[in-house]
Amino acid sequence: MWDYTDKVMDHFKNPRNVGSIPNADGTGQVGSLVCGDALKLTIKVNKQTDVIEDAKFETFGCASAIASSSMLTELVKGKTIAEASKITNQDIADALGTLPAEKMHCSVMGMEALEAAVKSYRQGGAPVTFEQQEEKIVCHCFNVSEETIIKAIRQNHLTTVEDVTHFTKAGGGCGRCKGEIQKILDKVNACQIPAAAPEEKEFAKMTLVEKIRRIEKVLEEDVRPKLNMDGGSVELVDLAGTVVKVRLLGMCSGCMGAAGTLKHLVEKALQEKVDPSLTVEQN
């Protein structure tokens, strides 16, 4: 029995946005019934703003596949195509609380379907099936390419063959490819030398433009994704000394818990990631 979080079980038992959007602006497909999992993602995009206004999915797979697909549709709605393109499989898993290691490939499938849907939109809307960029197939049981394995290792910091199997299914069949997977692991990890972290400029010594950019970066990466999950968002209105003035949007606007959101989510994130002296006010 898999150890699923409450959020995974909620999205499995009560999946959001199930179905297919008629005349979708983008359609991405990944997997095959032969391999055991398949996912189709359709998106509706506002052509003026590039914002994804709706997303639906159809999937064939386990509880993790259904939950990952459901969460994916929630994550992309309200984001621009550029913002959605940055969503990774780890973002999907994190939004669900976590996934069992053996089921991480389900979140990878979601990321690949999104990549195909975005490509479909940019090419005019014709359905796109996610395809491996390299033709060299390492795992013939599940049709997993060397490029897919390398990408999974780099994005998720994988270190063992078992990790690779959990994220891509490669090696989960006859097992003959495990030696080749180990060679790929050794090659990729040998090349990954941690870069020295750039020294961050002290907030008080930044120009106004630099301060705004730093604050906006934290709002974009740490705050908006969490608010988007409940249909809300936030925008930066002004910066006066150490007082950050913001406006809550969508479902967060006028919410009875707005004060708590400002204090415990927005302000906390800015104090931790930008400067402890910052305070947040609703504009």
Residues with catalytic annotation?
Answer: 35, 106
The tokens of 208 are what? 């106004």
Give the up-direction half-sphere exposure of residue 75: CA atoms within 13 A in the CB hemisphere. 27
The tokens of 141 are what? 């049981």
The tokens of 124 are what? 């005019």
Chain position carrying tokens 């090696």? 171
Q: Which residues contact 49 (CB under 8 A, 6 or more apart)?
A: 80
First-to-last alpha carbon distance for the chain, in angstroms, is 49
* Distance from C-alpha of 191 to C-alpha of 150, rounded to nearest angstrom: 12
* Distance from C-alpha of 44 to C-alpha of 73, rounded to nearest angstrom: 11
In Å, how far from its chain's centre is CA 201?
Answer: 29
Q: Tell me which H or E stretch contains 56.
A: strand 52-60
Q: Which residues contact 21 (CB under 8 A, 6 or more apart)?
A: 42, 43, 44, 54, 55, 56
Q: Which residues contact 275 (CB under 8 A, 6 or more apart)?
A: 203, 204, 242
Q: Tell me which H or E stretch contains 185.
A: helix 178-191
Residue 87: count of CB within 10 angstroms of its CB: 20
